[in-house]
Structure 1
Amino acid sequence: MIKYKKLIGMKVLDDGNKETIGEVYDAILSKRLDSLTSIAIKNGKLIKEKNILPLNKIISFKKDIIMANSNSIIKFEDLEDEEYILAEKIKFIDKVVYTENGECLGMVKDLLFDFNDGKLIGYIITEGLLEDISRGRSFIPNIGNIKINDDSLIFGENIKDIISKNKDYYKKLLELVQ
């Protein structure tokens, strides 16, 4: 598992010669916004090239380095606009989270992905600084039927039951990805 904010800035190295291919600057999501399909990378050269590395072409993923074959890189300009959705464009971070009845559950602080298959596992939520200090951050699983607006995410009313029934599991999950 990996947090979105941890993914950003990771180095991508060529598996063959161990040279730097670039650095991750965004995640590319599926059209349904439920999984990570590729990572967007830019090189460190004077004239920056933006490229895409499909998730299924990553050879290995370590603590702070991604290993790939440089032949797997796709030039960003070779893709059609409808082939990718940058997470940055959706701006998940700092969106307010509501239930369908308008109850505020907090604000998105990070996304959690399963790096093996790219699935968006869920959203790491803050309810404010004091709550974060006293109880820690909350977690809302990505269970579908989510409405994404410009400034908010809206979940079905059943999300509160799911969160309360699985609260201990979610706390342990968040501890694993610290």
Structure 2
Amino acid sequence: MRTFKKVKGVPIVYGRKNCQLGIVTDLTFCAPEGRITGYWIQDHRWWSRKHLLPLSCIQEETGQHVLVDRKDPFLLRNPSDDRFLHGKNRLLGRSVNQHDGGMVGIIEDVYFLPNSGKILGYELTEGLFEDIKKGIKVVKTGQFTVKNDGESLVLY
């Protein structure tokens, strides 16, 4: 199981010489399927464009680096996929509501399987003082059906 906080900033390397291709700066996800589709990568040149590394191109993933099997594994971003941290329809900071309208919390992180990208749950916050008092809340997606409702996610 992975979280965005664990993979952000991790280098992408290729080959036995560990040639660094870039670092993970964001995640891309497909909301209708409820899964992470890949890592948003920035390479070492400041003028370069960011690239998408699909999860299928990852050969090995440790806490220190992500090993890929090809020199150029990057793809163009699918227009239907959104990003977790940046972008118009980002997931970070989005509110999560119950089907009756009650607010559950605001998304802080996402838990997913590294091989398939299936989203297992969301880490939610209710604010600093509530987090100190009650602790951080984790909503597992297996218990609920999650629907995208514009500016928020709704649990059914």
Report if TM-score (shorter chain) is over 0.5: yes
Q: CA deviation at 1:72?
A: 4.9
Q: CA deviation at 1:80?
A: 5.4
CA distance, structure 2, for counterparts of residue 138 and residue 4 of structure 1: 16
Q: Secondary structure at the match of 1:73?
A: coil
Q: CA deviation at 1:48?
A: 1.3
Give the structure 2 partner of residue 15 of structure 1. Answer: 15
Q: CA deviation at 1:111?
A: 0.8
Cα 1:115–1:151, aligned 2, differ >3 Å: closer, same or farther?
Answer: same
Deviates more, 1:58-67 or 1:1-10: 1-10
Give the structure 1 partner of residue 49 of structure 2. Answer: 49
CA distance, structure 1, for counterparts of residue 78 and residue 28 of structure 2: 13
CA distance, structure 2, for counterparts of residue 11 and residue 128 of structure 1: 32
Q: Match for 2:82 among 81, 85, 101?
A: 85
Give the structure 1 partner of residue 59 of structure 2. Answer: 59
Aligned alpha-carbon RMSD (Å)? 2.1
Whether contact under 8 Å (2:14, 2:71) holds in the other structure is no
> Which structure has the larger Rg?
1
Structure 1 stretches (4+) deviating beyond 6 angstroms? Answer: none
- Select the structure that is richer in helix: 1
Aligned counterparts, 1:8-157, within 5 A: 8-30=8-30, 32-76=32-76, 81-82=79-80, 84-87=81-84, 88-89=86-87, 90-143=89-142, 145-156=145-156
CA distance, structure 2, for counterparts of residue 91 and residue 11 of structure 1: 23
Unaligned runs of 5+ in 1: 157-178
How many pairs does the alignment contain?
Answer: 153
Unaligned runs of 5+ in 2: none
Q: What's the TM-score, normalizing by structure 2?
A: 0.84
Identity of aligned residues (%): 23
Q: Which amino acid is the alignment partner of residue 132 of structure 1?
A: D
Q: What's the TM-score, normalizing by structure 1?
A: 0.75
CA distance, structure 2, for counterparts of residue 129 and residue 3 of structure 1: 20
- Select the structure that is richer in strand: 2
